[in-house]
Amino acid sequence: MLFNLRALSPLVVFLATSALAQDHSSEQSEAQISDPNLECTPYYYAPSGQFVNTFPPIWQPATLLANDTDGQALWAKIAPSIPTNILPKGQLNGSTINVTYDSVNDPDCWWSIRQCTTPKLAGLSPDVSSVPEPKTMGYGFDDGPNCTHNAFYNFLSSQNQKATMYYIGSNVLDWPLEAQRAVADGHEICALTAFQSQDAFAELWYTIKAIKLVTGVTPTCWRPPYWRRRYRHVLRMQDRIRAIATALGLQTIVWKYDSFDWKAGQGNITATDPSTTVGGIILTHELNNFTMQEAIKWYPQLKAAFSAIVPIGVALNKTQPVQGDQLFPPDVRAMHWFELEPNLELQLGIRKHQVVLGADPRRAWRCAVDGALRHGASRRSHTMMTRMDDIPDEFN
């Protein structure tokens, strides 16, 4: 039987479009979904789903699995360096009721007491609560990936804006394609644990493991979990937790400005707020559609207040924002540098420390050039710079 294809074409187009709009088969197709209800339709993603049994149950406080040989071996290796005289403080829900502690001397550098960020324990680096360049904002979002984030990530892309995404391991396993979009869009990924469990090693270990499994990126930074109680933040962040994070290769990031985006009408940073000596880090959230819409609403105000809004790794001038040789695709450090200096013809003298160099320096150079093109470089400049004989000698 022959069908009238002309008559069927509108139906075919409709079905094809509908199928594409609900396709959860890849990061690219997932990013095309615009209906939040369809975005949050559960799906199975085999590359990560087949390994879900190697993790503790999601959305529960983590404990180290007995059959996790890698985790057990790593804990055995670092445990001797972790202090045993510093105990967890407070309840899982953030309550500090009935906690006995020397709040005057704050011997464990417990953040919730005096917002301590300089550890008392020897050998630990201070928490990062500001960035070195004045009028610079370390821009990032907690609690992702959220399944409804396409509109928000589209907005960030439309502004050529990169950010640091602090991802919860359970969210990453729930929404792997959404996590992959952060990498595809050039954002930095840091870890964020959902619980303030006594087993801080397991919380961090499995969060890192989930991010690596899904995105291929092993983060070098994390933000501790906190709870809001009577409009103040409560963290069980103290030197024992810092020691575990340090042993796992994680830099602790806190914040200077709280957007209070989790409650309406509080996001108000003006041009008089930024320091003239150091830059700031803002606490914002990918928690739900409301907090993401708040970020969009207040973005022009941030742009007016700060000279540069960049991921935390860029703000800290990190040359290796991920563990190992893997580059962010694309290179966030190079893209920010070219964003500040868009005239490509003047950038032939770029130095290695200004690009995230991987195992292949030429690949890093091409990544930098591609990033420059996305930030307004001319097509002629791009063509010129991607010829192999135009790559600076230091990258050969």
Annotated catalytic residues are 142, 285
Gap between the Cα atoms of 291 and 118, Å rounded: 30
Helices in the chain by DSSP H: which ranges? 5-21, 27-31, 36-39, 46-49, 69-78, 111-114, 150-158, 169-174, 176-184, 200-215, 239-247, 289-305, 312-315, 332-340, 361-374, 379-385
CA 124 vs. chain centroid, Å, equals 22
List C-alpha distances in Å: 198 to 92, 98, 165, 241, 367: 9, 17, 25, 10, 41
- Distance of alpha carbon 204 from alpha carbon 65, whole angstroms: 13
Q: Structure tokens of 344?
A: 């490509």
Q: How far apart are CA 241 and CA 222, in angstroms?
A: 11
Q: How far apart are CA 226 and CA 204, in angstroms?
A: 15
From its phi and psi, is residue 283 left (phi > 0), alpha (psi between -120 and 50) or beta?
A: beta
Which structure tokens are listed for 62?
């983590």
